[in-house]
Amino acid sequence: NWLASEERMYCQLILSFSMEDELFCEIKLPESLVEEFMPDMCIDVFGESLALFHYDMCTRNEVCTIWAMKEYKVVESWTKLFNIVLGGRLLVLGIRWNSELLLAIRDGKMALYDPKTQQLNHIGIHGSFCLHSYLPSLVLLDEENGVLGVEAHSSDADVLEGSSGAGS
């Protein structure tokens, strides 16, 4: 999934690619976020839902609002989960499986924030941070070896078919 726009820097939709049918589709944003400045948003995974982080740096306290799409590709299922006051010194890196947020603090430390208890806990990691989410997939892309435009060699085909390579 990618944030996308037909115009320069104003986000209008999420572009999604389905590994199952190998098609792109468009997912609309929550109505209140259409036409927001794209660098003020990012997407992630929250449990099994698509999540959207919106940073409102124009407010006095600098707030990150987190949205989740409860039913994938159903625009009406966007739900605002919570707001986090960043106070100019925090950056949300991502969401853990248990709803805790990973935060980067301006002094180079990483912390976990529990939105239920509103507790911030330093986790002993210091430095520069980058976080990427992924969901493992075993879907092959329209070819027996999973690589488009590349023919499988006989040894690759043996492995793909589960043979030991010995004569049959």
Q: Which of 97, 14, 114 minimizes the C-alpha distance to 54?
A: 14
| Per-residue pLDDT tens over the stretch 54-68 | 888 676 658 888 899
59 located within any domain: yes
- pLDDT of amino acid 144: 55
- pLDDT of amino acid 3: 81
Asked which of 1-15, 67-81, 129-143 is least confident by mean pLDDT, the reply is 129-143
Task: Say if residue 159 is in the same domain as residue 124.
Answer: no
Task: Say if residue 116 is in the same domain as residue 76.
Answer: yes
Task: Say if residue 147 is in the same domain as residue 66.
Answer: no
Task: Say if residue 24 is in the same domain as residue 54.
Answer: yes
145 located within any domain: yes
Task: Say if residue 74 is in the same domain as residue 153.
Answer: no
Count of domains for the chain: 2
Task: Say if residue 125 is in the same domain as residue 156.
Answer: no
- pLDDT of amino acid 63: 85
- pLDDT of amino acid 152: 46
pLDDT at 159 over 90: no
121-123-125 Cα angle (round to 5): 140
Asked which of 11-20, 52-61, 90-99 is least confident by mean pLDDT, the reply is 52-61
Mean pLDDT, rounded, for 73-82: 92
Question: What domain range is 144 assigned to?
Answer: 139-163
pLDDT at 94 over 90: no
168 located within any domain: no
pLDDT at 70 over 90: yes
Task: Say if residue 69 is in the same domain as residue 108.
Answer: yes
Task: Say if residue 40 is in the same domain as residue 12.
Answer: yes
| CA dist list (Å): 91 to 48, 51, 84, 103 | 22, 16, 10, 5
Task: Say if residue 116 is in the same domain as residue 154.
Answer: no
| Per-residue pLDDT tens over the stretch 116-153 | 888 889 888 888 777 776 666 666 655 555 545 545 44
